């Protein structure tokens, strides 16, 4: 069974969390040994391991939260490389036999680790001070809420697992079977976890933006309640104003952050004043998949042209370390004003001919660094929450509450335009639907590669309260200049959620397929 393999992986993964003391070579096993859970250093090391688990699955934020959003090319890139995830993810052509991601994306493996940590720290570890215990539990409940929120937005109601079944001695297969909870039950559980996380944290100070903190919990809480307020899923009906007020209160509890003056520095300067929570990458420690969004030497160097019509070399100094397996649409690039600094700080555009050539684009946002050995290293942090997100979430909440939202939008827009900011580019409040679309497109420009677009377009509404996922005007055409189509027709609304793969269903007789598949 897949679930058994997840749980058995817990025993293996402890090797990454602990090591043998040079004078005591007895194994520090994950659960039963008296050698583990004996001091705070081990608890801290395990929490570091939980963050390492999160980093190990960083691609899920893009795949689940952005790739379906209609901003990416499919099929073949402008450099004739094969593009990843074209179908069924990027083109939304899901069926019960073509699911895109199997086994719940592997998320339950990480949840099992968090469950075990909560079980031990909440009930044992008497050596911990109350303050330390509460901080660790605030982090753990926050991480578990994050994982289940990812599952909920992707599959709706999912199996709710709060223990570590094999380690508790329940080893027979039937004891491992778990049916899907309803959407309402799943969301209620997520809300319970995020409230526990908030309650356990005693202060908002974080040692690092790469460590889960109370402010990360408050951002996630706002995210959860904003979704709950606006999105009907299964037997959960969008809660409306009450949950918008909870989301607003959560955001109001966050302070101490500001926008960086320069958009590029948000990603080139780690742990800066804008970052609330980010997954940390470092040269010699762990790098990411930035190369998949940048050009390969073959087909680019001395083969394509810049805007000035001149032949290009290795203009971004990639040193041969690029693949271009993911490429954004020309129509997204052209949605930016030329005076919006985010366009050229996010993308680099090129052309197949000096004049009237075919358009191509690569992502500069994830370019990383040249390290001490003169290699291109993709170590840009993957940002989950930053202050610009705070501002645009607050704009969306205020719009939903019938209040003015323009001040929040314009703080983001003013940074983007810099010296070019004026009354003509400043946003002025419109109708609910106009504001909603403006916030969506501002987020589109601001959060490329940050795992937001798909969830944004599902969550946000037109004038009739329908999801913008069904609106052609919220989408970007595959070919610039053509008319856009809705990401999903209303007749296929079941595709808002993903199907469960056949193997996972076959391995657990209590599981049922996502409705509509």
Cβ count within 10 A of residue 461: 21
- Report the distance separating Cα 332 and Cα 70, nearest Å: 9
Phi, psi of 179 (to 5 degrees): -75, 160
pLDDT reported for residue 3? 41
pLDDT reported for residue 207? 77
Q: Which residues contact 202 (CB under 8 A, 6 or more apart)?
A: 131, 134, 135
- Report the distance separating Cα 272 and Cα 25, nearest Å: 41
Coil, helix or strand at residue 361:
strand
By the 8 A CB rule, do 273 and 260 touch?
yes
| Residue written as token pair 């094969």 | 82
By the 8 A CB rule, do 413 and 446 touch?
no
DSSP letter (8 states) at residue 338: T
pLDDT reported for residue 283? 96
**Which conformational region is residue 44 in: left (phi greater than 0), alpha (psi within -120 to 50 degrees), or beta?**
alpha
Measure CA 285 to chain center: 21
Coil, helix or strand at residue 368:
coil
Give rounded-to-5 percent helix, strand, coil for the chain: 45, 10, 45
Phi, psi of 43 (to 5 degrees): -65, -45
By the 8 A CB rule, do 359 and 480 touch?
yes
Q: What Cα–Cα distance (Å) separates residue 228 from each residue in 41, 158, 163, 184, 511?
A: 38, 16, 26, 10, 24
The whole model's pTM is what? Answer: 0.93
- Report the distance separating Cα 413 and Cα 411, nearest Å: 5
- Report the distance separating Cα 483 and Cα 449, nearest Å: 24
**CA 269, 274, 278: angle at the middle one, nearest 5?**
70
- Report the distance separating Cα 273 and Cα 212, nearest Å: 16
Closest-CA residue to 216 (of 161, 258, 164, 275): 275
Which residue positions in the chain have pLDDT lower than 50?
1-32
- Which helix (H) or strand (E) segment holds residue 320: the answer is none
- Report the distance separating Cα 185 and Cα 156, nearest Å: 10
The DSSP secondary structure of 125-182, one letter per residue, reads -TTS-HHHHHHHHHHHHHHHHHHHHHHHHHHSS-B---S-TTTTT--SHHHH--PBPP
| Residue written as token pair 């036999």 | 97
Q: What's the sign of the alpha-carbon dihedral 43, 49, 54, 55?
A: positive
pLDDT reported for residue 165? 66
Phi, psi of 263 (to 5 degrees): -60, -40
pLDDT reported for residue 28? 38
By the 8 A CB rule, do 216 and 142 touch?
yes
Closest-CA residue to 148 (of 166, 162, 167, 135): 162
**CA 147, 444, 406: angle at the middle one, nearest 5?**
105
Which residue(s) pair with 377 in the sheet? Answer: 369
pLDDT in tens, 386-415: 999 999 999 999 999 999 999 999 999 999
- Report the distance separating Cα 148 and Cα 388, nearest Å: 24
Token code pair at residue 263: 């958009």
pLDDT reported for residue 203? 77
Which residue(s) pair with 369 in the sheet? Answer: 377
- Which helix (H) or strand (E) segment holds residue 241: the answer is helix 241-252
pLDDT reported for residue 218? 98
Q: What Cα–Cα distance (Å) separates residue 168 from each residue in 46, 196, 262?
A: 19, 23, 51
Q: How far separated are the first and last CA of the chain, in Å rounded?
A: 23
Percent of the residues in the chain that have a pLDDT greater than 70, as a whole number:
91
pLDDT in tens, 476-517: 999 999 999 999 999 999 999 999 999 999 999 999 999 999
Token code pair at residue 499: 């199907």
């Amino acid at each position: 069974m897949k679930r058994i393999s997840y749980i058995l992986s817990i025993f293996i993964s402890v090797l990454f969390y602990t090591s043998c003391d040079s004078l005591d070579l007895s194994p520090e096993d994950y659960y039963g040994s008296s050698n583990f859970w004996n001091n705070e250093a081990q608890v801290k090391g395990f929490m570091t391991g939980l963050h390492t688990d999160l980093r190990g699955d960083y691609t899920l934020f893009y795949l689940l939260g952005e790739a379906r959003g209609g901003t990416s090319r499919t099929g073949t890139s402008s450099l004739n490389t094969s593009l990843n995830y074209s179908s069924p993810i990027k083109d939304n052509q899901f069926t019960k036999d073509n699911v895109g991601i199997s086994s719940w994306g592997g998320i339950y493996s990480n949840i099992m680790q968090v469950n075990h940590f909560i079980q031990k720290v909440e009930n044992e570890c008497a050596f911990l001070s109350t303050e330390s215990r509460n901080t660790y539990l605030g982090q753990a409940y926050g991480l578990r809420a994050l994982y289940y929120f990812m599952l909920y937005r992707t599959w709706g109601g999912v199996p709710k697992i709060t223990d570590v079944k094999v380690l508790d001695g329940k080893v027979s297969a039937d004891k491992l079977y778990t049916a899907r909870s309803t959407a309402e039950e799943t969301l209620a559980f997520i809300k319970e976890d995020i409230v526990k996380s908030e309650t356990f944290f005693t202060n908002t100070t974080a040692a690092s933006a790469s460590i889960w903190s109370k402010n990360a919990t408050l951002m996630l809480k706002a995210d959860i309640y904003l979704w709950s307020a606006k999105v009907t899923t299964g037997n959960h009906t969008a809660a409306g104003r009450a949950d918008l007020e909870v989301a607003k209160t959560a955001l109001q509890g966050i302070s101490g952050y500001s926008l960086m003056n320069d958009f590029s520095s948000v990603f080139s300067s780690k742990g800066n004043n804008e970052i609330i929570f980010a997954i940390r990458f470092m040269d010699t420690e762990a790098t990411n998949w930035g190369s998949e969004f940048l050009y390969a030497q073959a087909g680019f160097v001395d083969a394509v042209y810049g805007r000035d019509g001149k032949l290009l070399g290795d203009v971004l100094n990639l040193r041969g370390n690029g693949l271009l397996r993911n490429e954004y649409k020309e129509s997204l690039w052209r949605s930016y004003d030329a005076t919006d600094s985010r366009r050229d700080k996010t993308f680099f555009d090129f052309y197949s001919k000096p004049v009237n050539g075919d358009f191509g684009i690569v992502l500069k946002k994830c370019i990383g660094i040249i390290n001490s050995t003169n290699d291109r290293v993709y170590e840009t942090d993957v940002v989950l929450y930053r202050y610009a997100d705070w501002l645009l979430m607050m704009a969306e909440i205020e719009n939903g509450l019938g209040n003015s939202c323009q001040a929040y939008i314009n703080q983001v827009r003013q940074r983007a335009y810099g010296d070019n900011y004026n009354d003509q580019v400043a946003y002025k409040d419109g109708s609910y639907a106009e504001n909603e679309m403006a916030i969506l497109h501002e987020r589109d420009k601001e959060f490329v590669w940050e795992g937001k677009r798909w969830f944004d377009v599902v969550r946000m509404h037109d004038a009739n309260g329908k999801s913008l996922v069904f609106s052609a005007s919220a989408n970007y055409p595959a070919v610039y200049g053509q008319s856009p189509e809705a990401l999903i027709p209303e007749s296929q609304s079941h595709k808002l959620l993903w199907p469960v793969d056949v193997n996972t269903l076959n391995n657990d007789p209590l599981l049922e397929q996502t409705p509509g598949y």
